[in-house]
Amino acid sequence: MTPFGCAFKTALGWAAVRFNEHHEITGFLLPSSTQKSHDFLAWTVHRSFPQLEKAVVGYFAGKKIDFRKFSVSLTDASPFFQNVYGALRTVKYGETLTYKELAKKAGNPSAVRAVGGAMAHNPIPLIIPCHRVIQSDGSLGGFSADGGADLKKMLIDLEHPPIPPTAKKQAG
């Protein structure tokens, strides 16, 4: 089975997605200004995925997007990783949780380090929102995508825009 894929430009740079014939996402590259998106697609059949492209472009333009409507295929992931990714997909836009909370949500409260490993090997970041997982002390923790913790902070900040001063006055 040959995977399909496409690259597209967002406000942050080029992103890329791989998917199967059922339009289940099998891989995703967060936006980058490097050639990686093209390298990622080198062995795919180029076909567009307009619904996902529109959603990702909108997300990076500041729109609240729910990626849970897109199907994913995690056949290469271990059953444990699949379980963790499934639990993480229930975390909504703008929410965060700790690695410990995710381990509990995935049904294995003592597997905090293994959950960290699942986050580091997430093949579909953003769609499986590993950027929403933080450390128990409130610090960000690691992020394996290009841009590291700076990109993770940017994604969290994107989902938590600052309250405009006029809204603060009206609320107070």
pTM attached to this predicted model: 0.88
Active site positions, annotated: 130
Segment 120-135 mean pLDDT: 96
| pLDDT tens digit sequence for 19-66 | 999 999 999 999 876 666 667 777 778 889 999 999 999 999 999 999
pLDDT of residue 117: 95
What's the rounded Cα separation, in Å, for the pair 74 and 92?
Answer: 20
pLDDT of residue 167: 55
Residue with more model confidence, 161 or 152: 152
Mean of pLDDT over the chain: 89
Amino acid at site 2: T
